[in-house]
């Protein structure tokens, strides 16, 4: 037991560290938001139709090795910015269902089936298109 319990207000160095941490986190958040604004504005001004994959980031975060990086990327904020800027500039945003996107050929619709993770590119046997 502590004989004389103290409140957190009496720990000056702890308070300084908390304020410094909050300032650093706010700076990183502002830098990320600025980058996303610039990127989405550039994309919307350059393209008339933007197609994105409708990823479920919560499912991706089950991988403990990548969870922090996925959460840090602010994909939801990126998509929200794209949506409102596309409406603002009169452009079109299409969200594609991620099911079988790496299996189905975009030219002819042929489903090549499951592939191991080491295959990054493949050629469609029907139309000879590289993916």
Claim to verify: residue 92 and residue 107 sit in the same structural domain: no
Q: How many domains does the chain have?
A: 2
Quick check: is 1 in a domain? no
Residue 78 has which token pair? 């990126």
Quick check: is 130 in a domain? yes
Q: Which residues pair with 111 in a beta bridge?
A: 104
pLDDT at 2: 62
Rounded (10°) angle between helices 12-46 and 75-89: 40
CA–CA distance, 127 with 123 (Å, rounded to integer) = 8
Claim to verify: residue 44 and residue 85 sit in the same structural domain: yes
Query: 0.85 exceeded by the pTM?
Result: no
Claim to verify: residue 117 and residue 77 sit in the same structural domain: no
Domain span at residue 29 reads 11-96
pLDDT at 26: 96
Claim to verify: residue 83 and residue 106 sit in the same structural domain: no
pLDDT at 1: 62
CA–CA distance, 36 with 74 (Å, rounded to integer) = 9
CA–CA distance, 71 with 76 (Å, rounded to integer) = 9
Quick check: is 123 in a domain? yes
- Residues 63-117: pLDDT tens digits? 788 888 888 888 889 999 999 999 999 999 999 887 777 777 777 878 877 777 6
Quick check: is 3 in a domain? no
Quick check: is 33 in a domain? yes
């Amino acid at each position: 037991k502590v004989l004389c319990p103290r409140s957190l207000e009496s720990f000056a160095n702890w308070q300084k560290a908390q304020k410094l941490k909050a300032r650093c986190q706010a700076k990183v958040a502002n830098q990320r938001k600025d980058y996303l604004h610039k990127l989405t504005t550039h994309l919307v001004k350059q393209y008339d139709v933007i197609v994105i994959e409708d990823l479920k980031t919560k499912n991706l975060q089950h991988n403990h090795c990548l969870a922090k990086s996925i959460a840090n990327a602010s994909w939801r904020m990126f998509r929200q910015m794209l949506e409102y800027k596309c409406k603002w500039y009169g452009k079109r945003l299409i969200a594609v269902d991620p099911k079988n996107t790496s299996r189905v050929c975009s030219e002819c619709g042929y489903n090549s089936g499951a592939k191991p993770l080491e295959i990054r590119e493949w050629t469609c046997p029907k139309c000879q298109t590289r993916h």
